[in-house]
């Protein structure tokens, strides 16, 4: 059984999806909403496997909804406007249904559900990187799921090849983006690059120890991060 939520501001759109879902007993509808704000609340509450997500909705658009989810389900976008199709596929949605669509087209979308797990990271994190504001949460991989981590809980970020490892108290998560991308995205008043391979949360610094001409930063959990010479001017923000 897979849990399904429908988010569509048009009653006719919700009715049509429910009608077509009757041919798929393994897809069980658990909630339906007519606006973006309720979509966020219901998806975070029920953690569905699949969401049929309209793009133009009151409160939040479909793309904005994804920015506020704790876990990212599989997404099939639906809309009456074809100008969003390119963006939907660029962020690797399972499919994009242009209203009005037939039962045969709906079937194609459902059949695409299998084998889409590897695309979820690109879907959610691409949308996260497109947001022009400093995020209060970031999307990370954890146990084959995507979850959100509050930025205030991040201790430090470590380069990991083309990816990054995000350290919190007691847990390390993987981000699909490199440390330089995250440096550009995160609030510079909170996060400081101190090494080519590391960035710290200034609110989590416990100690700053000098060794010769360099420094080590000790964080609240005891992790120690070395400050490289190339970033010495940056660390002076901690000195009074």
- Tens of pLDDT, residues 39-75: 999 999 999 999 999 999 999 998 889 888 888 888 8
**Residue showing tokens 């009074």:** 240
| Cβ-based burial of 119 (10 A; exposed 0-12, middle 13-18, buried ≥19) | middle
Phi-psi category of 223—alpha, beta or left, where left has phi over 0 and alpha has psi -120 to 50?
beta
Domain 2-122 and domain 138-238, same fold? Reply is: no
Radius of gyration of the chain measured on its C-alpha atoms: 21
Confidence (pLDDT) at 182: 92
Confidence (pLDDT) at 19: 96
Q: What is the DSSP string of 118-138?
A: GGHHHHHHHHHHH--SPPSEE
Confidence (pLDDT) at 86: 56
Going from N- to C-terminal start, the domains of the chain cover 2-122, 138-238
Confidence (pLDDT) at 20: 96
Q: Show the beta-strand stretches assigned E in 34-128.
A: 50-54, 74-79, 95-98
Domain covering 2-122 assigned CATH 3.30.70.3280 in the classification:
no
pTM metric for this prediction: 0.59
Q: What is the CATH number of domain 138-238?
A: 2.40.50.1020
Confidence (pLDDT) at 92: 55
What is residue 149's three-state secondary structure? strand
Confidence (pLDDT) at 87: 60
Query: DSSP assignment, residue 146?
Result: E
Residue 68 in tokens? 């506020």
**Ranges under pLDDT 50 in the chain:** 118, 120
């Amino acid at each position: 059984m897979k849990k399904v939520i429908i988010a569509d501001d048009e009653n006719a759109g919700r009715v049509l999806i429910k009608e077509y879902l009757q041919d798929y007993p393994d897809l069980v509808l658990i909630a339906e909403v007519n606006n973006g704000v309720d979509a966020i609340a219901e998806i975070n509450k029920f953690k569905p496997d699949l969401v049929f997500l309209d793009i133009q909705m009151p409160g939040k658009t479909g793309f904005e909804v994804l920015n506020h989810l704790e876990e990212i389900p599989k997404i099939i976008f639906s809309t009456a406007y074809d100008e969003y199709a390119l963006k939907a596929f660029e962020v690797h949605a399972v499919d994009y249904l242009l209203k009005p669509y037939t039962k045969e087209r709906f079937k194609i979308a459902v059949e695409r559900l299998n084998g889409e797990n590897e695309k979820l990271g690109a879907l959610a994190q691409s949308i996260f990187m497109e947001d022009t504001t400093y995020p209060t949460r970031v999307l990370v991989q954890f146990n084959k799921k995507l979850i959100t981590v509050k930025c205030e809980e991040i201790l430090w970020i470590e380069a990991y090849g083309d990816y990054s490892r995000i350290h919190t108290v007691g847990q390390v998560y993987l981000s699909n983006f490199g440390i330089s991308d995250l440096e550009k995205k995160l609030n510079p008043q909170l996060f400081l690059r101190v090494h080519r391979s590391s960035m710290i949360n200034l609110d989590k610094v416990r100690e700053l120890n000098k060794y010769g001409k360099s420094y080590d930063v000790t964080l609240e959990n005891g992790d120690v991060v070395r400050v490289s010479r190339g970033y010495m001017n940056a660390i002076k923000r901690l000195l009074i």
